[in-house]
Amino acid sequence: MILCGECNQENKGDGWCKSCNAKHFQQNFKNWTSGNNDVDKFIQDTQLSAEYFYKVLEWIPYNRLYNIEYITKGGFSKVYKANWIDGYIYKWDDKNQNWERREPNKIVALKSLNNSENITLEFMDEIMFHHKLVEYNSSIVQLYGITKNPDANDYVMVIDYAEHGSLRNYLGRNYNKLDWNTKLRELWHIAVGLNMIHKKKLIHRDLHSGNILRSSNYAMINDFGLCKPADYNISENIKYTKKNVYGVLPYIAPEILRGQNYTQASDVYSFGIIMYEVISGLPPYHDINYDENLVIKICKGLRPRFNIKVPQIIVHLIKRCLDADPLDRPTSEEIENILNTWSNDYSNQAELKEQIKVAEEENNNSSSYTVQSGNLGISYKIHSEAIYTSRLLNFDDLPESKNADDYYYKQNDDLISRKFAVTAKYKSRKILLRSSIILTRKISSRKLGETTQKLNEDCKVKEEFQVTVKLTIQGETMSPSSNSKNDYRSTKNLIKNLSPKQQIIKQFKLNHGLFLDGCSIEPSKNAVFVEEGELNMGLYEGQPLVYTSINHQNSHINLLSFKDNYNDVELIKHLKQFDICVNFPVAKITYTANITESFLNFVDSNGITLHDVYGHLFSRKILIGGKLFISDLKSATSKQADFFKFLLTWTYDSAKYNKGISFSNSRTMEFFPKIITSDGEKLDTPSQLFNWMNSLYQKNMACIICYSNLVPISELRFNKSLSIDAAELRFDTSSSINEKQPGVANFKDKLNLEEWVKDKTHVNLIRWIKEFQLLQGLVINKHFELENSKKIAINFINIPNVVSSDKLYLEMIKPTTSLEEYLIFNDRNEYLDKDNVILPIIKELIKSDDLSYDDYTNFLVKFERYRISLSRTDIEPSEEFKQAIEKALENMKPFVILQSVFNEFGYFFPLNITLGKSLKSILQSSSSNNFKKVDLGSSTLTFETLISHLANLKISYLLTQKGDIIEKDDLSNWIENIKNTDNLEIIEYDNIISLYNVLDAEQQKKIDVVLNNQNDSKIIMTGIVDLEDLDNNNIEHYKRINIIPSLGEENYEVFGSVISDKKENLKSNFFVRFGLYDVNGFSAMIKTLNKNNKINITECYILWMIIGTPSKLLVFSPRNRELQVDFIKESVTLQRNNSYCSIKTFHKLSQGDTVSFNFYCSTTNYEPINIKLIGWTKNSILFQVLDETLTNSEATIIMDICVCILSSEYKSIKIDNGEESFHSCYLNLIGHTLTRENFIEKSSKEN
């Protein structure tokens, strides 16, 4: 045990006494300044709170540095090399009463940030995060302090010097002398640093080999200029918008390139690229241009290629790090543990060593990779446009991220780049894929029983299997250019990770016949065909199929029987009847093979026939997918039936194309039919229907729903070589023989889904919802125009009303000078209310002089085809929108997050939308025509009327919404063409409401609390911190308290007190004052009032709260938003020999109010001043200063007093960072309670 020579208490280590050293540092504060208050405060805080020497930062005068040499330039800084005369502080020397320093004339690196003469939040963030990460052996570059170049006037970080420079330079010079263990050790050190960053809940955001420095011993991570907290929202800072990505292109994860927020998994991707670089010795993509083509390829799955053989176990870890899905990447802790085992326990890694041995032998025998004699580095040529410094990157409309399964092939388990190979001569494309599909076989029971529930009772087993197939797809079905990207994604998701085809043959018994017993379809006991046949699988491309009047008891047809005899028809009575059955086919499977010898040689005997053993029919084609049996439709009204048809079509479209949009069922629906799946599951709500449909199309939970191309078993025996085509020609192709379905004995009509829906308007509406993004809100773009938001804001409760129209009319619109006025300027927007709807966050976007339309008027020609209308009760906020609002309201930074939410989901929503076509011309306002609207009636009326108006206005041509020119002579063709419903556009929004008004009343109230109090004094944040690290023998203590998140400015006040672990206020034992405020925290100075105090301060806590203006600090804790706060700040002059002073309050005080106060005095160097609450009146508070040096001073004493008053309506305060035991505290713990005892009726001292 090492004791401090001053206080005789135990040191933390290496002779470091935190308490005594804090005093030494504080005594020296007056002797230096950086010239900037923020820098001074931060350095002082690190010195007061340092528990070890390496956590100390210093202000280093520039004249203490010499031999300054320029080294290199980065994306945001310049780096120099210098000698530091003094060296770093190690500990306090009691004998010399000065700091003992180590390594005088130490070589250090100077990092000069561009344009840092004016200290910015980014500069302070980098220093703060860098200092936070520095720990002993943390693989983070040591930060010694800050200096300032007097010539350039730039602030400079003083950090450890790495003699080998960056990792990139080190590899370039030394790669060929690095063995495998050394490479793994280098990577382990980097992983240690990365894990340290992530443990501190930070993200580096710019990790690449240029930001990793190589000292004489190991690699260290540097450059935290882009580092941010893990919960940092990209929208909080305009500089870091989703379109503005900073970094070195090859190291940036694909999801970041596509505009998503940074996560710790993004750093892991960067580490994966660094792993590749250390293992291969090559910079990633060093031989190609860093342009948008590379970005697109990376999103599609391109990864750097190895030029050497690499052990499979290492490649596997790299591939995991580079996975396109961030959720599938390993954590930094897992990586550190793996590399620690590999590098530090290398001798015991038998598998790794064996793979390395194989790799080295192959590399030594390879001619593709040679080392020049005497060259320790590796030779390669870098493309002129391969840029390895951090820079701004901005790319739009990038493809979705995916892995390299179809962009790479495996060769010796290494990642090898490979271009798509497309052979045009094959009209029918045969694609070999490794994919996985979960197919669930559900075979109906031998006797179906009275309900389809029996299907589930006898068939409970769902088996998962994998199969490798040769997938034949005609034409360009698999091409991303066909139909839509969603079609392509559905195709890719459906066929994946397939393994031996025999499994699918066995699973579905595709080589067996079908035995029909009158109420079910069973596979035959024995196989008809051998298993070594040809299996072909393709996607079903048609619409769902609807069968009506299922299992009608009066029918004389039983499709579940081989022969329609009387007994089999009678079995129908035991099957449940349904109004309709809907098949949702997903894929089709065909199987051809040789007939088994046992089938050819079978002879009936002992009453056992060919049908008993091999079934009645053989199906050449099966459909897999999902099947729904629906009843009670006949009892629905016409409107209810239409609604269900719309709902079913909507759900199918959303699930198949992975839109993720389910129809709302939060309110009780008037009608929902009885729906049973083929395995007996009941679907009672739209949500259950959507989940089932989504499982079918996105999770591939499919079963056999139809057998077709049926061949009688008896015919097969005599037609051994019968092909599929021959079978279809020879045998009866009527519905009774051509198709069989489990659970369907008979039906009336067979229709596709659109034929069954009938109403083309509903089909069109679903298409319009997708095409015109009708579920999205409206935002205001930079041109002050309304456009669709990015995310879905509302759900439909009822079907929108669609009315067809055939109107052609003219309009004159003179825009107003304010977008806000435009939105409410006529009765078409009757739902808009200027005071209640235009939220403050929207008003910020609108200024009265934003637009100036004094000199022109818009002339519009509108042809109206459809009007889509909703009422307010037809919509509700989407679940995603509600959750986003709730998260924003629960966030410590509600203003920023709310703004972001409304930016993403929209500010407004139109209840009426008009579809059609429109033309536009801009006229000078001086035109004599000033009509507002002229209805020309039907478009079939005289065309000359329109031409006449154009002539009067001297308009020779008009413009479409896309800017195309329509001459007068082309107008008749234009009008004729717009009758096509496939070529419409939105020509008018009407009845625009605020999305704020779509939210429920509770969320509106919470938003009001945030916005209506943003300019008042409120409780910004509360917290509690233990004092375990203090020295109980000291009378004065200093405690640095860091806060998360950071504040927007430093103009705030902190109130608090020291409390015991039993939640007792210790204001009579300790006095605490707060100071050194900055955006990242503050310091507490504690003084023990009684030297004989027996309370151990290390067992106590500081309870604190920050009071300030939410809109300025940009932080507003959700826990105490509704608490009423009165904040008073004023200066008072202390009269000589009079220790009393009073403060007038803005509002009347009440018994039970809680008062907290801070007193400051410049003449005491802002040391803690003990103040006592004497009493209170209805409108004032009386204090007494207990410091005799102030009250007896000859000089005029001016004191700054800050008072916080919390209303008696509230009894407790919630703690933001408190654990369960300190979730909340009574208000009297943080201040003084006004009681009847200390109430002053009349006070002579009040004035």
Give the C-alpha separation, 66 to 202, whole Å: 35
Chain-centre distance for alpha carbon 106: 45
Tokens describing residue 1116: 């507003």
Instruction: Clarify whether residues 390 and 459 are in a common domain.
Output: no
Instruction: Clarify whether residues 714 and 827 are in a common domain.
Output: no
- Checking if the pLDDT of 1013 tops 60, the result is yes
Beta carbons within 10 angstroms of residue 462's beta carbon? 13
**Number of alpha carbons in the 13 Å side-chain half-sphere of residue 938:** 3
Q: What is the mean pLDDT of residues 643-652?
A: 88
Beta carbons within 10 angstroms of residue 535's beta carbon? 21
Contact between 221 and 271 under an 8 Å Cβ cutoff? The reply is no
Q: Report, in this order, helix, strand and coil percent for the chain, each rounded to 5.
A: 30, 30, 40
For 415-441, how does the pLDDT look when each residue is reduced to its tens digit (9 = 90+)? Answer: 333 222 222 222 222 222 223 233 332
Give the C-alpha separation, 310 to 366, whole Å: 13
pLDDT bracket for residue 1014 (50, 70, 90): confident
Q: Tokens 């029971």 map to which residue?
A: 445
| Sign, CA torsion 329/334/339/342 | negative
Give residue 669's pLDDT: 64
User: What single letter denotes the amino acid at residue 853?
Assistant: Y
Backbone angles phi, psi at 358, to 5 degrees: -65, -45
For residues 726 and 526, which has the higher predicted lDDT (pLDDT)? Answer: 526
What's the DSSP call for residue 218? -
Instruction: Among 743, 758, 773, give the residue marking a domain's end.
Output: 758
Give residue 784's pLDDT: 66
Q: What is the mean pLDDT of residues 184-201?
A: 95
With 0-12 CB in 10 A as exposed, 13-18 as middle and 19+ as buried, what is 138?
A: buried
Give the C-alpha separation, 224 to 142, whole Å: 12
Instruction: Clarify whether residues 489 and 568 are in a common domain.
Output: yes
Residue partners of 723: CB distance under 8 A and separation at least 6: 592
Selection from 1024, 1017, 1083, 1010 nearest residue 1051 by Cα: 1017
> Chain-wide mean pLDDT for the chain?
79
Give residue 770's pLDDT: 84
With 0-12 CB in 10 A as exposed, 13-18 as middle and 19+ as buried, what is 304?
A: buried
Residue 1025 belongs to a domain: yes
pLDDT bracket for residue 851 (50, 70, 90): very low
Give residue 443's pLDDT: 28
Selection from 442, 537, 541, 443 nearest residue 496 by Cα: 537
Q: Tokens 């446009």 map to which residue?
A: 385
Give the C-alpha separation, 702 to 539, whole Å: 13
3-state secondary structure at position 1003: helix
Per the structure, the count of domains in the chain is 5
Stated length of the chain: 1247
Tokens describing residue 5: 């020579």
For 2-16, how does the pLDDT look when each residue is reduced to its tens digit (9 = 90+)? Answer: 777 777 777 766 678
For 69-84, how does the pLDDT look when each residue is reduced to its tens digit (9 = 90+)? Answer: 998 886 667 899 999 9
- Checking if the pLDDT of 463 tops 60, the result is no
β 1081-1088/1036-1042 pair status: antiparallel
Residue 771 belongs to a domain: yes
Q: What is the mean pLDDT of residues 16-32?
A: 90
Q: What is the mean pLDDT of residues 874-889?
A: 93
To which H or E segment does residue 879 belong?
Answer: helix 879-890
Range with lowest mean pLDDT among 552-556, 902-906, 1022-1026: 552-556
Residue 1242 belongs to a domain: no
Q: What is the mean pLDDT of residues 1226-1241?
A: 89
* Residues β-bridged to residue 877: 794
Tokens describing residue 684: 């009672």
Instruction: Clarify whether residues 744 and 776 are in a common domain.
Output: no
- Checking if the pLDDT of 824 tops 80, the result is no
Range with lowest mean pLDDT among 31-45, 646-660, 807-821, 989-1003: 807-821
Structural domain harbouring 549: 453-758
CA-based radius of gyration for the chain: 39
Range with lowest mean pLDDT among 78-92, 226-240, 853-867: 226-240
Residue 360 belongs to a domain: yes
Residue partners of 67: CB distance under 8 A and separation at least 6: 81, 82, 83
Give residue 403's pLDDT: 81
- Checking if the pLDDT of 927 tops 60, the result is no
Range with lowest mean pLDDT among 703-712, 837-846, 1214-1223: 837-846
Give residue 925's pLDDT: 60
β 143-149/58-59 pair status: parallel
Residue 296 belongs to a domain: yes
Give the C-alpha separation, 172 to 182, whole Å: 15
Instruction: Clarify whether residues 768 and 750 are in a common domain.
Output: no
Instruction: Clarify whether residues 684 and 569 are in a common domain.
Output: yes
Give the C-alpha separation, 934 to 955, whole Å: 16
- Checking if the pLDDT of 488 tops 60, the result is no
Residue 1211 belongs to a domain: yes
Instruction: Clarify whether residues 499 and 611 are in a common domain.
Output: yes
Give residue 661's pLDDT: 60
- Checking if the pLDDT of 722 tops 60, the result is no
Among 301-310, 359-368, 551-560, 963-972, top mean pLDDT goes to 301-310
3-state secondary structure at position 101: strand
For residues 1025 and 716, which has the higher predicted lDDT (pLDDT)? Answer: 1025
Which CATH number belongs to the domain containing residue 151 in this structure? Answer: 3.30.200.20
pLDDT bracket for residue 534 (50, 70, 90): confident
Q: What is the mean pLDDT of residues 275-286?
A: 93
Instruction: Among 944, 964, 998, give the residue marking a domain's end.
Output: 998
Tokens describing residue 14: 């290496």
Give residue 196's pLDDT: 95
Contact between 167 and 214 under an 8 Å Cβ cutoff? The reply is yes
- Checking if the pLDDT of 734 tops 50, the result is no
Instruction: Clarify whether residues 855 and 882 are in a common domain.
Output: yes
477-484 CB contacts, 8 Å cutoff, 24+ apart: 477/538, 477/539, 477/541, 478/429, 478/431, 484/657
Give the C-alpha separation, 301 to 407, whole Å: 6
Taking CA atoms, 644 is separated from 634, 663, 1158, 1226, in Å, by 12, 11, 67, 56
Region of 15 on the Ramachandran plot (φ > 0 left; ψ -120 to 50 alpha; else beta): left
β 801-813/534-539 pair status: unpaired
* Residues β-bridged to residue 780: 786
- Checking if the pLDDT of 457 tops 80, the result is no
Instruction: Clarify whether residues 740 and 856 are in a common domain.
Output: no
- Can you count the helices (H) and strands (E) in the chain? 34, 55
Beta carbons within 10 angstroms of residue 569's beta carbon? 19
Contact between 989 and 901 under an 8 Å Cβ cutoff? The reply is no
Contact between 757 and 560 under an 8 Å Cβ cutoff? The reply is no
Residue 432 belongs to a domain: no
Residue 600 belongs to a domain: yes
Instruction: Clarify whether residues 991 and 1037 are in a common domain.
Output: no
Instruction: Clarify whether residues 851 and 970 are in a common domain.
Output: yes
- Checking if the pLDDT of 255 tops 60, the result is yes
Residue partners of 282: CB distance under 8 A and separation at least 6: 304, 307, 378, 380
Instruction: Clarify whether residues 185 and 114 are in a common domain.
Output: no
Instruction: Among 160, 187, 205, give the residue marking a domain's end.
Output: 160
What's the DSSP call for residue 576? P
3-state secondary structure at position 450: coil
User: What single letter denotes the amino acid at residue 283?
Assistant: P
Selection from 588, 579, 587, 591 nearest residue 634 by Cα: 579
Buried/exposed code over 268-293 (b: 16+ C-beta within 10 A; e: otherwise): bbbbbbbbbbbbbbbbbbbebebeee
SS3 per residue for 165-179: CEHHHHHHHHHHHCC
